[in-house]
Amino acid sequence: MAKLRVKQSGKLDGQRNRLKKPVIAKLDEVTITRDGETAVIEYVDSSICGVNLTIGPQLQYMTDQEILETHNDVLRAQQLSIANYKHIAVEIPEGLPQVRYFDAGDQWVPRGDVLRCLIHDDEDRQPVIEIDGREFTLEEFGSMLVTYAGWGMRITFVPDNELGKNPKIVVRDAEDS
């Protein structure tokens, strides 16, 4: 089974360059090279992120067209999976740890999809995020968020005594009072 890995975006003039996700392509829209058992697929359109497609030993016997068909099949399978996915956010019950330390990654990670947090600031007015009674710097909290890279995020601010409640949400411009 082929394994698709999207190549990381680069930097442009000190700014992060956000590339578009890979798309189903035709042979004239990509350049394919081989690196061992991995096909390296670069799009002619430099605004689209390239991919490393690990195929295995059979890669040496495949044509570029066969590699591209495998790549496109993986993208189609991902699209189908996304279309059929129904997300249910898991919230860890109050009183149980919401985060855990992940030794292999040397960082804290969420145990669920919802984090109840308190926002403080330190003596230098830098943000401090408190979860489960532990204080995280903004950098530590940001590393925790990277666990969900590629996902979206909604942040709902509530009074500190209502962290366990889902507030009523009204959609309107905050300036319209």
Let me know whether 79 and 103 are in one domain.
no
Of 49, 84, 119, the position where a domain reaches its end is: 84
Residue 91 lies in a domain: no
What gap in Å lies between CA 24 and CA 73, rounded to an integer? 8
pLDDT digits (tens, 9 = 90+) for 88-134: 999 999 999 999 999 998 999 999 999 999 999 999 999 999 999 99
Read off the pLDDT band of 161 (50, 70, 90): very high
Total domains in the chain come to 2
Read off the pLDDT band of 13 (50, 70, 90): very low
Let me know whether 143 and 80 are in one domain.
no
Of 33, 56, 84, the position where a domain reaches its end is: 84
Average pLDDT over residues 76-87: 93
Residue 173 lies in a domain: no
Average pLDDT over residues 122-147: 95
Residue 89 lies in a domain: no
Average pLDDT over residues 9-38: 81
Mean pLDDT of the chain: 90
Let me know whether 21 and 53 are in one domain.
yes
Residue 31 lies in a domain: yes
Of 52, 84, 116, the position where a domain reaches its end is: 84
Let me know whether 20 and 68 are in one domain.
yes
Let me know whether 40 and 79 are in one domain.
yes
Task: Tell me: pLDDT of 17 over 70.
Answer: no
Instruction: Choose between 5 and 56: higher pLDDT.
Output: 56
Task: Tell me: pLDDT of 16 over 70.
Answer: no
Task: Tell me: pLDDT of 9 over 80.
Answer: no
SS (H, E, C) the chain: CCEEEECCCCEECCEECCCECCCCCCHHHEEEEEECCEEEEEECCCCECCEEEECCHHHHHCCHHHHHHHHHHHHHHHHHHHHHCCCCCCCCCCCCCCEEEEHHHCEEEECCCCCCCEEEECCCCCEEEEECCEEEEHHHHHHHHHHHCCCCCCCCCCCHHHCCCCCCCCCCCCCCC
What gap in Å lies between CA 92 and CA 164, rounded to an integer? 10
Q: Domain range spanning residue 149?
A: 99-162
Read off the pLDDT band of 149 (50, 70, 90): confident
